Amino acid sequence: MTPNNPTNPQRQNSATRPLLPTPYSLLPRLTDHRTIAKQYLLLALISVIIGALLSLLMRIHLVWPGWSLWFHGPILPEDYLALVTIHGTIMLFFVLTTAPQAGFSNLVLPAQIGAHRMAFPALNASSFWLTALALLILLSSTFVPGGAAISGWTAYPPLSAVPSAGPGQGLGMDLWLLSIALFAIASTASSINTLTTIIRNRCEGMTWERLPLTVWGWFTAALLSILAFSVLLAAILLLFCDRHAHTSFFLPAGDLVNNVLHKSGDGSPLLWLHLFWFFGHPEVYIAILPGLGLTSMLLANFSYRKVFAYRTMIATTLLIGFLGILLWGHHMFVAGLNPFASSAFSISTMAIALPASAKVLSWLATTWRARPQYTTAMLFTLGFVSLFITGGLTGPILAQPILDEYLHNTFFVVAHFHLIMAMAGIFALYAATYYWFPLITATARHSGRLMSEPLGRLHFWCTIIGAYAVFLPMHLTGLAGEPRHYAQLTGIPGANGALSPAGALLAQTIPLNRFITYSAIFLATAQLLFLLNLILSLRKGAFATSNPWKATTLEWHPAMNPFPPIPASDIPAIAVYRAPCHYQTTGPATEPDTSFLTQWQPDTAAETSAEHTINTKPE
Amino acid sequence: MPATITPNKTDQERKRRLEDHDNGSGRRPPTDKRTGGGGDNDNWNERSSGRSGPYERLHRYRMGIFFALASDLMFFVAIVSTFFVNQSAGHLNVYNHFENTWVPTAIPPILWLNTAVLFLSSVTMEIARRTMFRETDVMDEWLGLGKPITRRALPWISATIVLGLLFLAGQWIGWHQLATQHIFFRSNQSSHFFYLITGVHAFHLFLGIGALIAAFTGLYLSRQLESRQILVDGVSWYWHAMGLLWLFLFTLLVFFQ
Amino acid sequence: MIFPRKTRLSNSNPALLLAPWFLPADASAHGPALDHHLLLNLWITLTLLTLAHLILFAGLLARRRPAQKNLWRIEYLPLIGLAILFATLTIKAERLWAGTRYTGASLTALQVEVTGVQFAWYFRYPGPDATFGITRPQLVAPGEGNPLGLDPADPHSADDQVTSELVLPTNREVDLRLTAQDVIHGFSIPELRLKQNAVPGQPMHIHFTPTTPGTYAILCTQLCGLGHYRMNATLRILPREQFALWLSAHQKESTHDSK
Ligand code: HEA
Ligand code: HEA
Ligand code: CUA
Ligand SMILES: [Cu+2]
């Protein structure tokens, strides 16, 4: 590709093309993808901190219902439900969709494909500001009369369609819908940008098979967003009409909510479930696909190997994306889905376990007898592998309707998705942060900084222990029958005064729940280590060399990451000559003699000597 | 599509040696023995040529438009599928008999006229789009002989705008005709969908007209030929898509209620 | 690690920390098979889990060797193995699912209607005439003891009995008609391994056979508003003759206060 081609006047006179490849040259700051990346990451960080605090409030209330929040008083049932709703919404949309898919992709995607800019910088920037606006609206819904929405992140009607259905279902619900609608538009816009960038802005020689798996992850996730988010938008529009235009898309005739009778119409609540989950399931894969790609790349990088079965990994990424569209019904096995449909969805869901297992196998094979280098990034990546396996294996259990009939909406499900989505997702974010921190902190003036490794290791061990301590026991309370969305587990009044059988059933889970809460507090506190590390390293972290991890992908190309800019004249034209992860080592990887070939290095004598030992094919 | 003459072309006159994968962009990568000739089928030969060559920006924007339209299509797919579900949906009345209260909404005849108008507008739009790429005019522009392209395209753009406004007005009249028969958005299931579908589509056209006006002003203001081409080209694809979409939605409303 | 057990009602038991390590008691005909399949799944998961982690750690600890090349041995063969494993699990599960859900209840099944309302469950027995009376949402008046809006004009509704606790006989199939008045509720009886959402405007039928007499919890497992957590009811499973007694007694009193 030609960042600056003197023999090409068209590029010079067009103001949209920077003469220098440094992002700060001609482009306005706000549309520079690195700036946007930092904005997204900051937004995600703020969101995740809020979300984590909310989850702590939830946990504390579950085991000490009497405990009263400062400036607020005791947490009422509706408060608890609002907490759950906002927690889920913030974490899923504003953390795990923005940070990996928009944040880190803006940071490294263009560089990894050898492009100096995104396809549509303005679109890119506007989608960020839309996202920020959406977050503000969501948070503001907490303070309106009636409080925030209480119908969970899935917002099933009629609960979400009729304001009389409960506190927070009035203005709070409207704001929730508005916020998610804006978010949907923003994600669609940024996905359009991502897709176009990947397809059109790849540099010389960057063939599809040579794309890093991270890019493949972003690509597939972007495709999913394009398909899924617009369906969510349509569903939200319909729900909004039901709420304000007296239509009845989701409201059945004769629906009586708190003495408010809905007379007309033959709407069906299940319609919302179908539309929502058609979006909702792809959404959770959007959250994890970039993480899957990152894991493959980092494992290979730090064990100085090729990614095992590179092409198969590309195929499985696309396959997971494709199957992910076909199995939304597995959230509705006992929600009124026709039993035969349940069987069909169950089969397609079991099918998706295979590409996922293929990925796990490739990870195991990549690290097998590799003596990798245990940087913090590598540790978090290994943690991701462990969490993905643990959380993933409960998926096929839930995928069997007969078992889901017992487990649906119990804490077993909560455990499942917190391990595979929440914790694995956060681990991927951490790995990315520790790994790409030099790219985040590099400025035109000085090169990037590294995060403190000792602090990082401590943070890793606390987090992995905390993660398992919090979410493994949840499987047990779930198996014991503890349902989701229960604002209270103790002293639930029975039909006739005394402790009801329900109360007795739930009371058994209290001791274990107490343990979970303690662990949750520990887990959240452990994150302070990260924040500390972040602040310290931002200030006075050690400066990084131009390729601190012996990485082979293009984001470490000296002309790509914003290290002190070299004059335009001696920027090598960026072209790619081989698939990533091109290592040749004798002995343990930690030894210094690890020789490696970056994607951008032209053939050298060194390589021709490497010729015989290195299999240059992707596999 | 006819090629414009851009300076690129001149520097592509250089002798190219394809056998060395020289794409004529000025720098050719050192030949790569292993990957040469696509022997290890990592399709080196079909490698992307990077961001060089004429029309690169145009194609980029076009691709963006297409992705946007794809997601928009999903939006309508969702609405249409709810249409079919709700149409077949009913409820058990008090006597436990299943009853379906779907009464089709009569289509105001003027919608046929609107359809014709919209089709016409697509034609004018396409003419405008083609004029943007007429070679001789492109040549003139590049030689700095005024802006013939703008001159030729403007009338067609304005025609499209007028026709689009006519369509919207027609839809408005259609809604009023229904309203006079006391069929409102809220009235019954099928009216929900009639107003929703027509309304959402009308909103899309409204945006389209905004884009057309932007293109109109762009044709005046922008000096750079390529941006003008992109502007008109993008709007026209959007416009065609909306026209096509309307044909589908209209047949849905007319024949499938 | 996990065995079915009877629910303890005492909260003061020191061994309670272990309590949740068990599935609740199992009091339905289809339950044992379900438990068995569930335990099988859990054990398999546990095995795969440990196996995967063992491989991971072994690979990390062992001395470095050149990377593997053999795609088939390392990637595809294990995949085929897992495919077979998951396929068998699916088939077993589908069998059980088909057994409980594909067919309707037998005609002799006991008819009961369950209605979910924010935030209570109501149960309706059709009475001697074995047909449910008409209900109209306009007539709903919990205050006047007509929470379901029974239409007094309808002859069938006179002998319908509406109760707040579900009482069922042992070893007789029950045909539940699930409805909801306002929002979606989740009808769930953990001890019967039973769960089905009650969707307004769309009645659903599930059928099952209680086996062990006892008192069990009925929960709501679909978020339905601020009272979701306390929307529970009691299920009493009685031996047949006792059930007959209860039914007749209940009929008398209901006819009494209807007079
Ligand atoms: C990403 C998703 C995510 C994450 C991280 C979490 C984190 C946590 N969640 Fe959450 N949770 C959900 C998604 C998530 N959750 C969803 C979708 C629901 C369902 C909502 C619904 O039903 O509607 C839910 C529901 C839910 C429930 C069920 C409530 C109920 O149904 O009654 C509970 C109960 O314990 C819970 C607890 C926790 C706890 C203790 C954590 C702890 O792990 C919190 C500790 C915090 C961290 C470990 C993260 C720290 C990370 C950083 C500080 C920075 C990293 C950022 C960058 C590098 C940019 N969550
Ligand atoms: C990142 C997010 C994410 C991911 C990746 C997954 C992955 C999977 N999920 Fe999950 N899921 C959620 C997020 C996610 N889920 C959320 C948020 C919910 C709750 C929504 C709500 O109700 O609020 C949910 C709920 C949910 C349900 C509904 C439960 C219910 O509500 O009753 C089901 C049911 O089928 C399911 C199934 C699966 C399956 C089969 C996978 C599969 O993709 C898993 C594939 C992985 C594996 C199978 C592990 C592979 C490893 C091995 C096989 C080991 C190999 C062994 C050796 C090498 C020895 N999920
Ligand atoms: Cu009813 Cu939850
Ligand atoms: Cu899912």
The DSSP line for A4-23 is --TT-HHHHH-TTS-SSSST
pLDDT for residue A7: 36
State what percent of residues in chain A have pLDDT above 70. 88
Which stretches of chain C drop beneath a pLDDT of 50? 1-20, 258-259
* CB spacing of C52 vs A334 below 8 angstroms: no
Binding-site residues, ligand 2, Cβ < 6 A: A 154, 284-285, 287-288, 330-331, 349, 352-353, 356-357, 360-361, 364, 389, 392-393, 395-396, 398-399, 404, 407-408, 413, 416-417, 420-421; C 48, 51-52, 82
Q: How far apart are alpha carbons B26 and B13 in whole angstroms?
A: 10
How is residue A592 written in tokens? 């210094």
- Which chain B residues touch A188 with a CB distance below 8 Å? 68, 71
Edge-first strand order for the sheet with C185-189 is C166-169, C233-238, C214-220, C185-189, C194-198
Maximum separation of any 2 CA atoms in chain B, in Å: 86
CA separation, residue A215 to residues A361, A377, A541 (Å):
20, 18, 28
Between A354, A367, A505, which is nearest C190 by CB? A505
Q: Is the pLDDT of residue A561 over 60?
A: yes
Q: Is A203 on the interface with B (CB under 8 A)?
A: yes
Strand partners, C185: C198
By C-alpha distance, the chain A residue nearest B222 is A14
Helix axes A453-479, A510-540, angle to 10 degrees: 160
What local confidence, expressed as pLDDT, does residue A5 receive?
37
Ligand nearest to the CA of C186: 3
Q: How far apart are the first and last CA of chain C?
A: 57
Neighbouring-strand partners of residue C202: C199
C-alpha gyration radius of chain B: 25
The verdict on a CB contact (< 8 Å) between B95 and C203 is no
**C167 contacts B57 by C-beta, under 8 angstroms:** no
User: Which of A93, A343, A421 to probe ligand 2 with, by most ligand atoms within 8 A of CB?
Assistant: A421
The string of pLDDT tens digits covering residues B82-116 is: 998 888 877 776 666 777 777 888 888 899 999 99
CB contact under 8 Å between C136 and B94, yes or no, is: yes
What DSSP line would sit under A118-141, residue for residue? Answer: -S-HHHHHHHHHHHHHHHHHHHHG
Residue in the structure block whose two tokens are 């992109």:
B230
Interval between CA A404 and ligand 2 midpoint (Å): 12
Does ligand 3 come within 6 angstroms of the Cβ of C233?
no
Q: What sections of A141-170 are H helices per DSSP?
A: none
Q: Which of A514, A373, A356 is nearest to A421 (CA)?
A: A356
Question: Cβ distance A265 to A247 under 8 Å?
Answer: yes
Ligand 3 center–CA A486 separation, angstroms: 10
| Predicted confidence (pLDDT) per residue in A581-590, tens digit | 888 765 555 5
pLDDT of residue A493: 63
User: Rounded distance, CA C255 to CA C259, Å?
Assistant: 6
If we measure between CA atoms, which residue out of B118, B147, B90 comes closest to residue B239? B118
Asked whether A506 and A482 are in contact (CB, 8 A), the reply is: yes
**Is A331's C-beta closer than 6 angstroms to any atom of ligand 1?**
no
Res. B23: pLDDT tops 70: no
Q: What is the 3 state secondary structure string of B145-172? A: CCCHHHHHHHHHHHHHHHHHHHHHHHHH
Amino acid at C152: P
A364, C79 in Cβ contact below 8 A? no
A508–C118 C-beta distance less than 8 A: no
Chain C residue whose CA is closest to A313 = C75
Residues whose CB falls within 8 Å of the CB of residue B256, separated by 6 or more in sequence, listed in order: B84
pLDDT of residue A507: 84
Give B91's contacts in chain C (Cβ within 8 Å): 201-202
- Phi and psi at A312, nearest 5°, equal -60, -35
Query: Which of B44, B82, B90 lies closest to A271 in CB terms?
Result: B82
- Cα of A353 vs centre of ligand 2, distance in Å, is 8
- φ/ψ of C164, rounded to 5, equals -100, -5
Would you state the pLDDT for residue B30? Answer: 41
Contact B67, A123 (CB under 8 A): no
Closest CA to B80 of B238, B239, B245: B245
Q: How far is the CA of A495 from the centre of ligand 3 (A)?
A: 15
Across A447-452, average pLDDT: 89
Judged by phi (left if over 0) then psi (alpha if -120 to 50, else beta), residue A587 lies in: left
For C179, the enclosing helix (H) or strand (E) is strand C174-180
- Rounded CA-CA distance A484/B98 in Å is 34
Ligand 1, atom 22: closest residue by C-alpha = A152
Top-confidence residue, A406 or A21: A406
For ligand 3, the distance from its centroid to the CA atom of residue A157, given in whole angstroms, is 13
C-alpha span between C211 and C235 (Å, rounded): 13
Question: What is the distance in A from the centroid of ligand 2 to the CA of A118?
Answer: 33
Q: What is the mean pLDDT of residues A537-558?
A: 86
Cα separation, A173 vs A154, in Å, equals 12
Output the six-digit token pair for A512.
């274990």
Q: What is the pLDDT of residues A389-415, one digit of tens each?
A: 999 999 999 999 999 999 999 999 999
Chain A residue numbers touching B43 (CB-CB < 8 A): 207-209
Q: Is B151 touching A (CB cutoff 8 A)?
A: no
Most confident of A591-595, B26-30, B67-71: B67-71
Q: Would you state the pLDDT for residue B24?
A: 41
d(CA A228, CA B78): 10
- Residue C203 alpha carbon to ligand 4 centre in Å: 25
User: Three-class SS string for A550-564?
Assistant: CCCCHHHCCCCCCCC
Pick the residue of C123, C229, C235 with the most A CBs within 10 A to test the interface with A by mutation: C229
Residue A321 Cα to ligand 2 midpoint, Å, equals 14
**Phi, psi (deg, nearest 5) at residue B22:** -90, 110
Q: Which two tokens stand for residue A490?
A: 């103790």
Residue nearest to atom 1 of ligand 3 (CA): C185
Distance, in Å, from the CA atom of A345 to the CA atom of A161, rounded to the nearest integer, reads 27
pLDDT band at B45 (very low <50, low <70, confident <90, very high): very low
pLDDT category of residue A566 using cuts at 50, 70 and 90: low
d(CA C177, CA C156): 17
Q: Do C201 and B95 touch (CB under 8 A)?
A: no
Question: Is beta strand C166-169 parallel, antiparallel or unpaired with respect to C161-163?
Answer: unpaired
Q: Which residues, numbered 286 to 305 in chain A, qualify as contacts with chain B under a Cβ-Cβ cut-off of 8 Å?
A: none
- What is the distance in angstroms between the Cα of B115 and the nearest Cα belonging to chain A? 24
Tokens of C84: 């077979």
> Which residues, other chains included, contact A577 with Cβ-Cβ below 8 Å and sequence gap of 6+?
A205, A599, A600, A601, A602, A603, B29, B32, B35
Ligand nearest to the CA of A468: 1
Count of CB pairs separated by less than 8 Å, A with B: 185
A480 Cβ below 6 A of ligand 1: no
Q: What is the rounded average pLDDT of the residues A469-490?
A: 91
Of A157, A360, A508, which is closest to C19 when you measure between CB atoms?
A: A508
Structure confidence by residue, pLDDT tens digits, A232-261: 999 999 999 999 988 889 988 888 888 888
> To which residue do tokens 């069990």 refer?
C216
Q: Per-residue pLDDT averaged across A442-452, rounded? A: 84
More confident residue, B188 or A235: A235
Give the closest ligand to the alpha carbon of residue A331.
2
Q: Please indicate whether residue A597 or residue A119 has the higher confidence score (pLDDT).
A: A119
A202 — pLDDT class (breaks 50, 70, 90): confident
pLDDT at A600: 80
Q: Are B161 and B215 in contact (CB under 8 A)?
A: no
Q: Indicate the length of chain B as a whole number.
A: 257
Confidence bin at A504 (pLDDT 50/70/90): confident
Q: Say whether the peptide bond before residue C119 is cis (omega within 30 degrees of 0).
A: yes
pLDDT of residue C255: 57
Residue in A340, A394, A488 nearest the CB of C229: A488
Establish whether residue A184 lines the binding site of ligand 1, counting it when its CB lies within 6 angstroms of any ligand atom. no
Q: How far is CA C92 from the centre of its chain?
A: 20
A53-94 residue pLDDT tens: 999 999 999 998 888 888 888 888 899 999 999 999 999 999
CA pair distance B163, B152, nearest whole angstrom: 18
A374 beta partners: none
Q: How far is B252 from chain C (nearest CA, A)?
A: 27
Structure tokens at C191: 């001890």
User: Hey, what are A69's tokens?
Assistant: 């929040």
Cβ–ligand 1 contact at A139 (below 6 Å): no
Torsion over CA: C224, C225, C226, C231 (sign): negative
Using DSSP's 3-state secondary structure scheme, residue C125 falls into strand
What kind and span of H or E run contains A314? helix A310-325
At residue C120, what is the residue type? A
**The pLDDT of residue A377:** 95
Q: Does B47 touch chain A (CB under 8 A)?
A: yes
Cβ contact, residue pair A237, B26, below 8 Å: no
Asked if the Cβ–Cβ distance from A256 to C181 is below 8 Å, we say: yes
Mutate to test the interface with B, among C113, C124, C134 (most CBs of B within 10 A): C134
Q: Cα separations (Å) of B83 from A268, B192, B193, C246?
A: 12, 9, 7, 49
A257–C183 CB contact, under 8 Å: yes
Whether A123 contacts chain B with CB within 8 A: yes
pLDDT at B257 over 90: no
| Residue A158, preceding peptide bond in cis (omega within 30° of 0) | yes
Judged by DSSP in three states, C120 sits in: strand
Segment A144-160 mean pLDDT:
91
Which whole number is the average pLDDT over A519-548?
A: 92
- Mean pLDDT for B210-234 is 89
Q: Which residues neighbour ligand 4 (ion) by CB within 5 Å?
A: A 281
* CA A323 from centre of chain: 18
Query: According to the model, what pLDDT value does residue A180 have?
Result: 96
Give the residue from chain A lying closest to C121, CA to CA: A495
**Residue A283: in which H helix or E strand, if any?**
helix A269-302
Chain B, residues 117-146, CB within 8 A of chain A, namely none
At which residue do the structure tokens 């949740």 appear?
C20
Task: Give the pLDDT score at A588.
Answer: 53
Residue with the two structure tokens 């690195």 = A34
Q: What is the DSSP string of C185-210?
A: EEEEEGGGTEEEEEBTTB-EEEEE-B
Q: pLDDT at position A433, please?
A: 95
The alpha carbon of residue A499 is apart from the nearest alpha carbon of chain B, in Å, by 37
- Inter-chain CB proximity A269 and C59 less than 8 Å: no
Does the distance separating the beta carbons of A8 and B11 come in below 8 Å?
yes
